[in-house]
Amino acid sequence: MFGTSGIRGPVGETVTADLALSVGRALGADTDRVVVGRDPRESGEFLTDALTAGLRERGTDVVDLGLAATPTVARAVAWEAADAGVSVTASHNPAEDNGIKLWQPSGQAFDGPMQDEMTERIRATTWELEGWDGLGGRERADAFERHVETLTERVDLADPLSVVVDLGNGAGGVTPAALSRLGCEVETLNAQPDGSFPGRPSEPTPEHCESLATLVREGDADLGIAHDGDADRMRAVAGDGTYLSGDALLAVLAGAAVESGDRVAVPVDTSLAVEDFLAERGASVERTPVGDVYVAAAVADGAAFGGEPSGAWIWGDETLCPDGPLAAVKVAELAAERPLADRASEVPEYPIRRGNFETDAKRRVMETVAARVQADYDDVSTMDGVRVGTDDGWFLVRASGTQPMVRVTAEARDDDRAESLFETARALVDAAVGEQ
């Protein structure tokens, strides 16, 4: 039921009002006060109503933020002295999807054991509902301004910038508000919240951010910022119009956040370039499964910073949720001190190969691959797929979470070795598929 980022799927199929009602009832079993917010998708209105009804039936009071960025919701759990938070969002997924993500008071998403407990409660469907005189209340609140104030207190822009912010018709209005208050000249793209995402698809990929890159370059802006639908992700465009890769941005943000001896939490598919860049600064990487909940857990356990190349960035001394607006003002602070393109130019680029293999037996394929590599290699991790490290590169074989396929990624410090590692991984998957 729960994936790496909560519950997500097509509205009317995977995600329904009935499911939202059940989640509310399950969460209400051990909470007295819960913060709820949603992204701009129209389906979020009735899903929020259903989830709120389930909470109130269990006697839980609801603080309804209405339309709000996911990091605003996550932060508001502590601000409102609540026991949990709920974001009704499908984040960067397409308009036809929606979802539900649960938050702890620390700002960390519900982890695996907590999600398992919620799943058991939902499937049990045995609810002890309150009578008419024991129902929870529902109050409206607005955490937008507090989020803006929090961000402006965290950074200092001695030389304010010209910034273009592409909100992708999402809920990330905190970002232009905070940057404007910091003295920046701000221009927005796709700023009207609209859950059909008419301006561009929700995920801020290089292809989807071409208009942003052009406007930054042609308009002589210093920086471009892009968010997804709920603004937990942030991607950046340098002043020369270059869209920074996720690995380059991860290296830049992590490099500014760490000191010698620190470690940085990154998912298993992160480039060697990040590891090499941080090693030059005396820091190391700690690899986690893919998903911000795992990165956040490593940060909570002492990592100085955590990030995913997909655009989720976590500063543990601020919050354990991926906060796109926080990342936006942090990267603006860095760009004000030194152009972002100059910083990114110091991050090495290594060749990487990717491929997909269709199979209806992906679980058995993964088991076969894991058994073979563990017999042949010393550096093998099975925390999320099968990752094999070598002296000069790595490859990752990982089952898709949503499609009948296995994905292969390989990287090395030169082209020939990257190709060799990819072919090795591909041969392993081909053989495993053929045996099913």
Please report, for the chain, the start and end positions of each structural domain, with discontinuous segments joined by +.
7-141, 145-344, 352-434
pLDDT, position 162: 98
Residue pair 61/33 in contact by the 8 Å Cβ criterion: yes
Give whole-number Cα distances, 99 to 2, 13, 48, 93, 110, in Å. Answer: 10, 11, 10, 9, 14
Query: Which tens digits make up the pLDDT trace of 120-133?
Result: 999 987 889 999 99
Which CATH code of 3.30.499.10, 3.40.1350.10, 3.30.1330.60, 3.30.310.50 fits the domain covering 352-434? 3.30.310.50
Residue 114 has pLDDT above 90, yes or no: yes
Identical topology for domains 7-141 and 145-344: yes
Would you place residue 300 in the very low, low, confident or very high pLDDT band (cuts 50, 70, 90)?
A: very high
Q: Which of 327, 376, 140, 349 is nearest to 225 (CA)?
A: 327
**Is CATH 3.40.120.10 the classification given to domain 7-141?**
yes
The set of catalytic residues is 91
pLDDT, position 402: 64
pLDDT, position 145: 98
Q: How many helices (H) and strands (E) does the chain have?
A: 14, 19
Would you place residue 6 in the very low, low, confident or very high pLDDT band (cuts 50, 70, 90)?
A: confident
Give whole-number Cα distances, 330 to 28, 37, 223, 227, 273, in Å. Answer: 36, 24, 12, 14, 21
Residue pair 274/251 in contact by the 8 Å Cβ criterion: yes
DSSP type of residue 93 = S
pLDDT, position 80: 98
Which CATH code of 3.30.1330.10, 3.30.9.10, 3.40.50.2300, 3.40.120.10 fits the domain covering 145-344? 3.40.120.10
What are φ and ψ of residue 85, in 5° steps?
A: -135, 155
Query: Which tens digits make up the pLDDT trace of 10-50?
Result: 999 999 999 999 999 999 999 999 999 999 999 999 999 99
% of residues, the chain, pLDDT over 70: 100
Residue pair 260/282 in contact by the 8 Å Cβ criterion: yes
Task: Answer with the residue of higher pLDDT: 402 or 155.
Answer: 155
Residue 417 has pLDDT above 70, yes or no: yes
State the first-to-last Cα distance of the chain, in angstroms, to the nearest integer.
26
Residue 118 has pLDDT above 70, yes or no: yes
DSSP annotation string for 114-167? HHHHHHHHHHH-------TTSPPPEEE---HHHHHHHHHHH---SS--EEEEE-
Q: Is the pTM of this model over 0.75?
A: yes
DSSP type of residue 360 = S
What is the mean pLDDT of the segment spanning 209-225? 97
Residue 101 has pLDDT above 80, yes or no: yes
